Amino acid sequence: MLTGIVFPQTEIGADVGAVRAITQAAEGLGYDYLLAFDHVVGANPARPGPWQGGPYDYRSSFHEPLVLFGFLAGITRTLSFATGILADRYSRFVLMFAGNTVAALTFVVFGLTKSLALYLVVGVIQGLAFAFAHPAKQGFLIQVSPPEWIGTVQGLDTTSMWVGGLLGTLIVPAVYGAISGHVIALCGAVAIAGLAIAAPILWRARATRAEAHSPAAPQEQAVG
């Protein structure tokens, strides 16, 4: 298990000496990584509409992660760096299904194309799709799972991926003899079908969870 610290974005300010000191202190204490949040734009409390408040706004100090990590990499030896990806603003559900759908479509293209250039371009698209979908999926699972079941749900998610990979390893070679490279396109089509089945089920789970955590509507009181 790795242990790390969260970079104190809003507290540390722009003092380069303080940034250096806390990072090297973390490394000296034996921490494995430093995490910095990449949500660098805060809301304006004076904007139109209701404002619920929050831990920071547009006046709060944030460090852009890649610039920060570039500096910290030059003053540390063993410390790793990670960003905190916030998917809520764009809906975890949408990011999860959009990313996985695009990834599934790339498999269809892989199975049908004979163009090396297209293959390489689609490979990049697939990587971006997984980069968006995976953290959104992890956040979504936490969002819809009861707190006491989160570990079990995440374990089942990982197990299902490994089982699917095992079945694919056993089935694909046999199917390949009949349809050759088109088997990759078939895998993509199966993934799209699975997403189509899962989407309404998970959408209902999301809606049910949101209703359970929404504040009750105020009751009107009779006057008289």
Q: Point out the domain boundary residue: 84, 99, 119.
A: 84
For residue 21, what pLDDT is reported? 95
Residue 71 and residue 106 in one domain: no
Residue 75 and residue 122 in one domain: no
For residue 223, what pLDDT is reported? 41
Residue 152 and residue 179 in one domain: yes
Residue 94 and residue 54 in one domain: no
Residue 118 and residue 190 in one domain: yes
Residue 79 and residue 102 in one domain: no
Does the global pTM surpass 0.85?
Answer: no
Q: Which residues have a Cβ under 8 Å from the Cβ of 42 and sit 6 or more positions away?
A: 54, 56, 57, 58, 59, 60, 62
* Structural domain containing residue 150: 90-209
Residue 137 and residue 204 in one domain: yes
Residue 114 and residue 192 in one domain: yes
Q: Point out the domain boundary residue: 39, 64, 84.
A: 84
For residue 221, what pLDDT is reported? 42
Buried b (16+ CB within 10 A) or exposed e, 140-177: bbebbbeeeeeeeeeeeeeeeeeeeeeeeeeeeeeeee
For residue 218, is it within any domain?
no
Residue 95 and residue 168 in one domain: yes
For residue 223, is it within any domain?
no
For residue 216, what pLDDT is reported? 47
Number of domains in the chain: 2
Residue 124 and residue 74 in one domain: no
Residue 102 and residue 149 in one domain: yes
pLDDT in tens, the chain (224 residues): 789 999 998 888 888 999 999 999 999 999 999 998 876 566 777 777 665 656 677 777 888 888 899 999 999 999 999 887 654 555 778 888 889 999 999 999 998 888 889 989 999 999 989 888 887 887 788 777 777 887 888 888 889 888 988 988 888 888 888 888 788 898 899 999 999 998 888 888 777 766 665 544 444 444 44
Residue 44 and residue 109 in one domain: no
Q: Which helix (H) or strand (E) holds 164?
A: helix 150-179
